Structure 1
């Protein structure tokens, strides 16, 4: 009985045979290739035959082997008694190091203390300089103020020592008296400025004063706070209502420069009150003399 008795079987055999042939061809053409001997890969290691060599190319003939060096007989050292190892004495070095550290610390502390004292001295000197400068500035300011007050008062009292005045449209009767009678022009101004001349007879709150053409209505006494004695002259300006609108210390005629006396005299001058007069100057010039005694 034939195994290829049908058409389908014969076609199957044919197709299988063709496929097998194609697979074999593919394996021969594209399959794995084997090299005999196989290709070398990696790092070539040359195991030489001698202990010496020269050059980069290996010779085909191996040179004669060099004789091995003679074996040297090892000499066994003689046995000796073990020597006891002596440990170095580190206590002395530690003591020296400790002493050095203490000295360094002491030197550092002394330097810090010296620097601290120098800083304190510099700070104290700067503070003293600042205080001295402030004091000098205050004194200079006080002197400048006193000089200005004196200059202002001198300007206000200009013509004090003149024998008489030059008349204006209505006449002028200003000037200090140096003899019997009323010095000046009878047509003079009855409200002419009164400047300090002879000391008054006051004793504190009721001191002497001068204000031409006006009569004093009231005054009071301001007690000093420093228990000093002296005479203080205060230049004043009075308005038409009879009120003191301006006060200023006058060195001329004053016997003291005590601040507490000047302040008390100014306060006393501000308590003065004169009669109102619509014909008087808007700011009439006059003076007040205040005498202070010890224990007041």
Structure 2
């Protein structure tokens, strides 16, 4: 492409014109300083009500204005490390577990001691029971021996046909605990090892039936001499129920001498019945 001289002059003129416009703009509008946002201009307010002159005076001895000291920055809160909290919880849990374990061990120990004390107490009670049973057994054996119960409060001379023994043998046909060994039926004899009948003798049963024979009663006598039970025993030949009941009631009223000890004694009372001549 070929340019002629007019075209070249036109191009150079156009470029120069635009450069001139840019220069003018840079020296005027583009060189203006735009103030920053929120900025201001310092103003000297002075320190007296009125003064003359053009220049800023030097320090005249007046106290400078106090500078405001900015407040210290707030101290940030110190956060407790998470690991420390976790560690503390673990230590407290371990301490509680140890205390609970010790308490449980103490409780088991006390229970074991109590069980041992109960066992020893039971053994002592069992030994005491066996000892008491043995003493009662020995005493019962001794009571079977003649004279083991000791002399009664009303002991006296012996009367009877036997070669051994003591007390009043009496008579199968007697009606009194003393005097001659003969008489009519209704009152009989007793057998109670080492014991004697009281001053009243054997109580007499009511004899209302014309029937001969005998009624044997097994009696139990306490240490005070009281007959606490009387039952019809073997050897009885009378079947009349009224006579049996009368004999039993009479035996329960009998009174023997008292003895020392606490064991009841077993014996017999025999009533013999015979028609009067």
- What band does the TM-score fall into relative to the shorter chain? 0.3 to 0.5
Q: Is the radius of gyration larger for structure 1 or structure 2?
A: 2
TM-score (norm 2): 0.34
